[in-house]
């Protein structure tokens, strides 16, 4: 790891797993190649520290604009990086999904519970292995019930959507619904008028 990349905003699993020297070098290579095709020799502004900070803020829920500002990357520059580097797009997209993945893992663990056992912790300074006992955790029935209700709810909404879309002339949006209502009202007025004329 380079010294610049070792600068950490916080201890974050996402950064440790995904923001590596290899990822940074690949992004720099792609961006440099894009600059060369335009005949420019400007120095690349994206440092490893800026990349780390940008991805860190994305990974904790910030949007692209806020993450760019926090990492001191202009929005126009961020958009340029996204357009010119496939690796930058990939890891930024992954960072955006980080909290969703964490939530799904947490729900899964709560539903499954945990058997008793040990896990190994390596001390960052002494490199000594420390074994920590993990107690048994029973499956969380509330989490299971919540998941089933959530899954059932969205399945029912999808089925309702399929049934509604299968009906001929079913409005697909609010504008179509307004037009349909207007047509029906006019038809109703026309029928009432004819009934009155026939009397």
- Residue 32 pLDDT > 80: yes
Lowest mean pLDDT, pick from 36-45, 71-80, 111-120, 131-140: 36-45
How confident is the model at residue 170, as a pLDDT?
Answer: 56
Using DSSP's 3-state secondary structure scheme, residue 124 falls into coil
Return the higher-pLDDT residue of 130 and 85: 85
Lowest mean pLDDT, pick from 62-71, 78-87, 131-140, 168-177: 168-177
How confident is the model at residue 164, as a pLDDT?
Answer: 56
| Residues facing 121 on adjacent strands | 130
Return the higher-pLDDT residue of 124 and 61: 61
Return the higher-pLDDT residue of 10 and 120: 120
* CA gyration radius, the chain: 28
- Residue 106 pLDDT > 90: no
| Helix or strand run (H / E) with residue 96 | helix 86-96
Tell me the average pLDDT of the chain: 79
- Residue 48 pLDDT > 50: yes
How confident is the model at residue 92, as a pLDDT?
Answer: 94
How confident is the model at residue 132, as a pLDDT?
Answer: 86
What is the pLDDT confidence band of residue 4, given thresholds at 50, 70 and 90?
very low
What is the pLDDT confidence band of residue 23, given thresholds at 50, 70 and 90?
very high
How confident is the model at residue 9, as a pLDDT?
Answer: 39
Q: Where are the domains of the chain?
A: 3-96, 172-199
What is the pLDDT confidence band of residue 2, given thresholds at 50, 70 and 90?
very low
Look at the pTM and tell me if it is higher than 0.75: no
Beta-carbon count within 10 A of 150 CB:
11
Q: Average pLDDT of 138-157? A: 80
The DSSP string of 167-184 is STT--SSHHHHHHHHHHH
109/126 Cα distance (integer angstroms): 31
- Residue 91 pLDDT > 60: yes
How confident is the model at residue 114, as a pLDDT?
Answer: 84
């Amino acid at each position: 790891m380079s010294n610049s990349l070792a600068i950490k905003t916080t201890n974050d699993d996402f950064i440790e797993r995904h923001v590596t020297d290899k990822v940074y070098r690949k992004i720099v290579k792609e961006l440099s190649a894009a600059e060369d095709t335009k005949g420019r020799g400007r120095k690349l502004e994206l440092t490893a520290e800026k990349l780390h900070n940008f991805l860190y803020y994305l990974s904790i829920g910030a949007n692209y604009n806020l993450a760019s500002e926090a990492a001191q990357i202009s929005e126009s520059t961020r958009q340029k990086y996204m357009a010119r580097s496939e690796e930058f797009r990939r890891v930024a997209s992954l960072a955006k999904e980080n909290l969703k993945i964490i939530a799904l893992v947490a729900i899964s663990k709560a539903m499954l519970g945990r058997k008793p056992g040990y896990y190994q912790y390596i001390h960052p300074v002494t490199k000594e292995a420390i074994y920590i006992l993990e107690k048994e955790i029973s499956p969380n029935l509330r989490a299971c019930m919540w998941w089933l209700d959530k899954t059932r709810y969205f399945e029912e909404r999808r089925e309702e959507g399929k049934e509604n879309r299968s009906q001929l002339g079913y409005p697909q949006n609010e504008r179509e619904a307004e037009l349909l209502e207007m047509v029906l009202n006019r038809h109703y007025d026309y029928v009432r008028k004819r009934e009155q004329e026939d009397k």
